[in-house]
Amino acid sequence: MKEIDSGYRKLILVCVNEREAGEAACGSRNSKEIHLRLKAIVKSKGLSRTIRVSRTRCLGKCEVGPTVVIFPENRWYGGVTLEDVEEILNRHLEPPE
């Protein structure tokens, strides 16, 4: 095993997990669209080389999903909507130097 440098300053995880019908799950609450919007905004700002937006399976917060997690800050957001995406990014993007 070899430790590697990711090259990213931030990692954004979006739960897209799906479960049996009737069970709480991020995937049934628009999380795929949230993931796509996050990726599109990061790309449009030219930040794709420093911020990685990835889909993930269950993060264990099904009842309060969709769940988005920002690292290295370790900030967790639940009940995320498409309207929340820009605010989440604005909270975690460094101001221009």
pLDDT tier at 89, thresholds 50, 70, 90: very high
**Structural domain boundaries of the chain?**
10-92
pTM of the model: 0.91
- Write down the pLDDT at residue 96: 52
Q: What is the mean pLDDT of the chain?
A: 93
Q: Does the pLDDT value for residue 91 go beyond 70?
A: yes
* Of 30, 25, 48, nearest in space to 85 by CA: 30
* Of 5, 12, 10, nearest in space to 68 by CA: 12
pLDDT digits (tens, 9 = 90+) for 5-43: 999 999 999 999 998 887 889 999 999 999 999 999 999
CATH topology of domain 10-92: Glutaredoxin (3.40.30)
- Write down the pLDDT at residue 59: 96
- Write down the pLDDT at residue 15: 97
